[in-house]
Chains A and B, each alone.
Chain A
Amino acid sequence: QVQLVQSGPEVKKPGASVKVSCKASGYTFSTYGTNWVRQAPGQGLEWMGWISAHNGNTKYPQKLQGRVTVTTDTSTSTAYMELRSLTSDDTAVYYCVREDPRVGPNLGDYWGQGTLVTVSS
């Protein structure tokens, strides 16, 4: 069965970077894209970025351009999201989501369990 297993919780100081991993299983990783979505405490969902499984193309929201990078390692079926220059506003649960490129633009069908990133001095 399809599973996305994310790395554990992180505590970071302001100005630091964090890299969250998302290990996929149960499907051919290289044929699906990955979106990243975050949710601040008590808040709604926010799209953070996307990477194509096909060619590694990426897209990011303008708000996070220059601070976020999403990558994949097809040899380990793992996607990564790195966020730099952290502030308290980046405290959130971060989710990876499997995008199905066969059905037109879609955020995805399977979600990781989420990774809590806390930014605090």
Chain B
Amino acid sequence: QTVVTQEPSFSVSPGGTVTLTCGLSSGSVFTSYYPSWFQQTPGQAPRTLIYSTNTRSSGVPDRFSGSILGNKAALTITGAQADDESDYYCALYMGGGISWVFGGGTKLTVL
């Protein structure tokens, strides 16, 4: 069974830079998995930040960026702001009938 892994929690200081990762329990993440990233605050619908590894969704500020780092997909937030405090989910495209698998999410604290 495919398991997508994310750090359960992370913290960053205001103005700082943080990189969240998205990996596979077995194997490496490549661009062919079309990694996507989503931000969710409590009680709200998720918001799409990044798709296809590094393409920002409409209206997303450029301090959010996506990449492949080593064998994982990565979401980097530069100049962290208080309202970046959210849950962040990645999703990988597995193709075939499985299609999309989400990671368990990372709770980001800005303090």
Given A103-B51, A111-B45, A112-B45, is A47 in contact with B34 using a C-beta cutoff of 8 Å? no
Interface residues on A, range: 20 to 34
User: Is there an interface contact between A106 and B52, defined as CB atoms closer than 8 Å?
Assistant: yes
Residue interface bits A22-48, CB-to-B below 8 A is 1, else 0: 000000000000010100000011110
- What are some 26 contacts across the A-B interface (CB < 8 A)? A35-B100, A44-B104, A47-B99, A47-B100, A47-B101, A50-B99, A59-B97, A60-B97, A61-B97, A62-B98, A65-B97, A95-B45, A97-B48, A103-B51, A103-B52, A105-B34, A105-B52, A105-B93, A105-B99, A106-B34, A107-B38, A107-B51, A109-B48, A109-B51, A111-B45, A111-B46
Given A104-B34, A112-B45, is A45 in contact with B89 using a C-beta cutoff of 8 Å? yes
User: Is there an interface contact between A45 and B99, defined as CB atoms closer than 8 Å?
Assistant: no
Q: Which of A61, A109, A111, A112 touches B99 (beta carbons < 8 Å)?
A: A61
Interface size on B, residues (CB 8 A): 26
B residues within 8 Å of A by Cβ?
34, 36, 38, 40, 45-48, 51-52, 55, 57-58, 89, 91, 93, 95, 97-105
Given A104-B52, A107-B100, is A45 in contact with B36 using a C-beta cutoff of 8 Å? no
Q: Which residue of B lies closest to A60 (CB)?
A: B97
A113 within 8 A of B: yes
Q: Which residue of A lies closest to B51 (CB)?
A: A106
Q: What residues of A have a CB within 8 angstroms of the CB of B97 in the complex?
A: 59-62, 65
Q: What residues of A have a CB within 8 angstroms of the CB of B51 in the complex?
A: 103, 106-107, 109
Give Cα A61–Cα B96 distance, bound, in whole angstroms: 10
User: Is there an interface contact between B48 and A111, defined as CB atoms closer than 8 Å?
Assistant: yes
Q: What residues of B have a CB within 8 angstroms of the CB of A108 in the complex?
A: 48
Q: Which residue of B lies closest to A108 (CB)?
A: B48
User: Is there an interface contact between B105 and A44, defined as CB atoms closer than 8 Å?
Assistant: yes
Q: Which of B93, B98, B103, B105 touches A61 (beta carbons < 8 Å)?
A: B98
